[in-house]
Every structure is written in C-alpha cells, then in structure tokens.
Copies of this chain bind each other. A is one copy, B any other.
Amino acid sequence: MTGHLYVIGLGPGDVQFRTGEAEAALADVAHVFGYKPYVARVAARAGLTRHASDNREEIDRAAAALTLAAAGEKVALVSGGDPGVFAMAAAACEAVEHGPAPWRTVPLTVVPGITAMLALAARVGAPLGHDFCAISLSDNLKPWDVIEMRLRAAARAGFAMAFYNPVSRARPWQLGRALDILREELPPTVPVIFGRAVTRPDEAIAIVPLADAISDMADMATCPIVGTAETRLVPRPDLPPLIYTPRTLAPAKVTP
C-alpha cells in the first residue's frame, strides 16, 4: 500500500478557474486537509473525509496529512490560489524536512493553481505585465524591518508588486504602513488595485492612485497590486479602464 500526498491549488474561487489536474488529484484522495473555507470548496462524496482546520495551523495540518500518507493513505492538502505562493507547499516541505524519517518516503505532488495576484491582474488588464514581485505583509513569520526593506528595494528597482496577507484582525496597521513607505518612494499617481474575492460572487475591485490608497480598502480576502511609474491606465467608454505595465520602457508603434 503506497500513500501519496497531493498539495493542491484550488485557484481563486470559481471552480471554472481550477485545472483538470487539480480535479483529478481531488478525485484520487480519501482525505482532504486545509483551512476551513478552502476545504469547504471541495465537494463532499462517499469515501472522502474532510479535515478542516483554522488558519495559522499550517505545520500541524501538514504533519497530520503526512502521518496519514506515510500510513498508506492518499491525502490532499488544499490551498486557495497556488500552493507554492505563500501557502501549503512550503509548509509541507518544511514538515518533511523536520519530521520523522518515514515522511521523506511519501511521494509528494504539488498541483499548481491560479494564484490571487494573477487572477486579479487578469481582471483589470496586465498590471504585472513586466518585472514584478510578490511580498507577504505578515510579520508573524519575518520581522517587519525585512518587509520594509523589501518594499523599498522593490519600489526603487521599478518592480510592480502584489501583496499577500495584507491585513487581519491581528495585523491591522501593516498595510497602511506599507502604503506610506511606498508613497515615500513612488509617484502619487501610481495605480493601486484592491481586488477582493476575485472570481467569487462577492468580487469587488477598486482602483485608486497611490496618493489615495488606504488600508481600509482591503481585508483578509483582498490582494492589493501596486503598479510602477510606467503603469498605464487606459480609459474606455462604457467599459472599466484597462491597467497595464508596458513590456518596454518606450511606447511601441501600433498600426491597425
């Protein structure tokens, strides 16, 4: 009997944004572990046990999944978005490294998904269309000084950026501070996009210049994207504007 651990990205929410590979992996397992709202996205069926846990219990959850997989079960750990972007894939690898020896013998497959920043970018155009970075604003796992240093480095080097873990009840001031730092480094006109629950029924997207961006525009379900000094906002009649960061530092010639 050979167990298997799948670490599966469920994408931004709407099942239409899941891959066939994710569906196939979910159909293959007897157990699903994950943060409650993600486990709730996996349909109940005979033969499937769903184990929902609280947020911030990533390592315990990975350990429970590995214990079952090492005992021969087929097990899924699910994440929203992509498991490799501030999600369960790193936690699973960490558990394998620091856990008991049998966990290293468990076949482990990470199944990628559409991560929040790319789902949001698609909704508004191509704000991450040139060099960009992804930064977690959570100072639970690294010191705030490191986050601040990375924000300044990314802004000065001209990267567009997306934020994960922007705000929570336990971390109320971090996003506001991040926006203040960026206002010291970037022009006030740089577009900031707040995308909440993208592809889900309660999707909401707001676009404001950096000068007007405030922390209250985001909650736990929001992915903020900050453009660069080159990012363009293209107004369209009767349609939302397109926002994109050009592929080039000089505008191209376009002929119909």
Q: Give A contacts to B, CB under 8 Å.
A: 11, 14-21, 24, 58-60, 63, 66-67, 82-86, 89-100, 103-105, 107-108, 110-115, 118-119, 121-123, 125-136, 141-143, 146, 149-150, 153-154, 156-159, 232, 234-239, 242-249, 251-256
Q: How far is the CA of A126 from the CA of B67 in the complex (A)?
A: 20
Contact A131 to B131, CB < 8 A, known contacts A18-B20, A89-B122, A254-B63: no
Which has the most chain B C-beta neighbours within 10 Å: A18, A108, A130, A237? A130
Q: Looking at the complex, which one of B67, B98, B122, B242 makes contact with A112 (CB distance below 8 Å)?
A: B122
12 A–B contacts, CB within 8 A, in A order: A67-B256, A82-B122, A84-B126, A85-B118, A86-B129, A89-B244, A100-B256, A104-B237, A114-B114, A132-B134, A146-B158, A153-B156
| Residues of chain B contacted by A128 (CB below 8 angstroms) | 84-85, 134
B16 pairs with A24, CB closer than 8 A: yes
Contact A252 to B89, CB < 8 A, known contacts A20-B15, A157-B150, A159-B150: no
Known: A17-B21, A93-B243. 14 other contacts (CB 8 A): A20-B20, A59-B252, A90-B125, A90-B130, A90-B244, A91-B247, A93-B126, A94-B247, A98-B252, A104-B236, A104-B239, A112-B118, A131-B150, A153-B153
Within the oligomer, what is the number of copies of this chain? 2
Q: How far is the CA of A126 from the CA of B88 in the complex (A)?
A: 9
Which has the most chain B C-beta neighbours within 10 Å: A24, A115, A242? A242
B158 pairs with A150, CB closer than 8 A: yes
Contact A94 to B246, CB < 8 A, known contacts A239-B105, A256-B63: yes
